[in-house]
Chains A and B, each alone.
Chain A
Amino acid sequence: MDWITKNLPYLMAGISVGGQYALIAIGYTMVYGILRLINFAHGDIFMVAGLVVVYAATVMPIYIAIPLMIIVTVFLGFMVERVAYKPLRSAPRMSIMISAIGVSYLLQNLALYVTGGLSQQYPAIPWISDTVTVMGATTKRVTLITPILTIVLVVGLVMLIKHTKIGMAMRAASRDFETSQLMGIKINNVVSMTFIIGTFLAAIGSLLFFTNYTGVTPTVGAMPGLKAFVAAVFGGIGSIPGAVIGAFIIGICENIIKGLGWTTFSDAFTFALLIVILIAKPTGLFGEKSTDKV
């Protein structure tokens, strides 16, 4: 019993952080699945979502600020794709990658300009910021909500991809652009939809993440973004279940390491894990295997 009360907070934090990484990682993995692009701006969109709540909450009630944040973030994700990636659709993949890096720095610098570089206090969200006690361990309610919400959203997403027409179009486009076009699928709509879903999940992720975090700075998106990216690679980039499982594993391991008193090494662990995976299994846990028949 004593052991549980001592370690439960770390385990709960790990599951919770894992859920937040998962919501970000899905955006990476879906965009990669369709465009074969690592969307470097994804972590920064996550940061912007945080800033929107900070500023919106000063002028309006929180229950309006949150839906507004989701709309603004999704719109930003949509616009980034239309402005920075779509014109490069037939360009070499390196060009679009560099464009993504450009967007990432643009967003960071805009945030620096707006915030003046100061950490902005994230408002307390009622109910989910409340403290609760689970088996003698105190935590915020968000820690308990995150994994449940993550699983609900992931199940919803998997159903969408498996059973709807747009989901079928997404699966087709992630395989073969040309043949998808021959089926009458509008590739641009499919790509936009992918960005909309990815940024929507990142917006929810940011809400959960910042509730547990001190403040929003212009570079705050980098670390969770990078870890979510590692999670996506770990699970096999392009695979949604892979990204989710990878994110939970990374979140839990990281917090167990913190629990053992090695907080300094928790980030190093994540990236060491990435190197080991890339050596041992370059396609990740559920990576695409090429089964093309010629």
Chain B
Amino acid sequence: MSNILEVKNLNVSYGGIKAVKDISFVVPKGEVVTLIGANGAGKSSTLRSIVGLVKPESGNIQFKEGELAGLPTDQIVSRGITLVPEGRRVFPDMTVLENLKIGAYMRKDDLEEDLKWVHDLFPRLKERSWQLAGTLSGGEQQMLAIGRALMSKPELIMMDEPSLGLAPIIVQGVFDIIREINKQGVTILLVEQNANMALKAANLGYVMETGRITMTGTGMELLENEEVKAAYLGKAKEK
């Protein structure tokens, strides 16, 4: 099994403050990998540096044999990575259909098939094709943000807090979709504060604390880990 993404000794700083300190991790092809941790642990900064929205200070980011560190965002995404940003960030004054089409902005081939694929995954988006994205509910916007990302036909899709601010029943739906997308062959790197849900969905998990990766293991191992339970799952350590 090969790794689609390998991050080595990545450092990221914002105006002198180190957000990510010398982290290394891998994302095996075809799996769901999660990065969990508290607010400010550096999870989002890690994703943002992978897609080039922030320039890494040092380190390597290998994606399918190619180096990404230092490339502009449009070149990175054209290689088959996409990021579903935190807070969804749909284009509120465009229609749902336009939002999906702009997801395929770089592509020049026919979109019909992929549009059908996304509409099958999210029938609600088909019903609301002509509605402005800003009028959708939070859960629908999250579906749209994921659908928009899928329209670029990514090999690796990264999601930054997809469950943020959503009702529990909707969160369940989002995770079902994540599993479904993964089953169809897309590798997923998931950043979450909802550690319980994320670890259940993941094959491989990393725990981030104040810019460092402190623990790693399969999703199940981390779920059973006493320290993870105490810190992220709200369960007291058994004495």
Contact = CB atoms under 8 A, between A and B. Distances in A.
B92 A175 contact: yes
Contacts of B91: 171-172, 175-176, 179
B141 to A, nearest CB: 7
Contact of B94 (A172, A181, A184, A293): A172
Contacts of A181: 53, 72-74, 77
Contact of B103 (A171, A183, A294): A183
Contacts, number: 67
Contact of B134 (A176, A186, A291): A291
Contact of A182 (B77, B87, B92, B138): B77
Contacts of B45: none
A82 B53 CA distance: 21
Interface in A166-183: 168-169, 171-172, 175-176, 178-179, 181-183
Interface residues on A, range: 10 to 19
A267 B51 CA distance: 51
B92 A183 contact: no
A186 B74 CA distance: 6
Given A168-B98, A293-B138, A182 B93 contact: no
Interface string A253-294: 000000000000000000000000000000000000001111
A181 B75 CA distance: 10
B9 interface: no
Given A168-B102, A179-B85, A184 B74 contact: yes
Nearest to B151: A183
A185 interface: yes
B123 interface: no
Contacts of B134: 291-293
Contact of A291 (B73, B92, B98): B92
A270 to B, nearest CB: 30
Given A184-B152, A291-B93, A178 B98 contact: no
Contact of B106 (A168, A179, A184, A294): A184
B23 to A, nearest CB: 22
Interface in B143-173: 148, 152, 165
B53 A178 contact: yes
Interface in A37-69: none
Given A165-B105, A183-B105, A171 B74 contact: no
B100 to A, nearest CB: 11
Interface residues on B, range: 20 to 34
Nearest to A292: B92
B119 interface: no
Contacts of A186: 72, 74
Interface in B77-133: 77-78, 82-83, 85, 87, 89, 91-94, 98, 101-103, 105-106
A182 B82 contact: yes
A25 B94 CA distance: 24
B152 A183 contact: yes
A178 B84 CA distance: 11
B193 to A, nearest CB: 16
A144 B161 CA distance: 58
A288 to B, nearest CB: 9
Interface string A18-42: 0000000000000000000000000
Nearest to B103: A183
Interface string A149-179: 0000000000000000100110110011011
B112 to A, nearest CB: 17
A293 B90 CA distance: 10
A292 B82 CA distance: 22
Contacts of B105: 165, 168-169, 183-185
Given A171-B94, A293-B134, 17 more contacts: A168-B101, A169-B105, A171-B93, A175-B92, A176-B89, A176-B91, A178-B89, A182-B77, A182-B82, A183-B106, A184-B73, A184-B106, A184-B152, A186-B74, A291-B92, A291-B93, A294-B165
Interface of A: 165, 168-169, 171-172, 175-176, 178-179, 181-186, 291-294
Interface of B: 51, 53, 72-74, 77-78, 82-83, 85, 87, 89, 91-94, 98, 101-103, 105-106, 134, 138, 141, 148, 152, 165
A-B pairs, top 9 by smallest CB distance, nearest first, are A184-B106, A181-B73, A179-B89, A291-B134, A183-B105, A184-B77, A184-B74, A186-B74, A184-B105
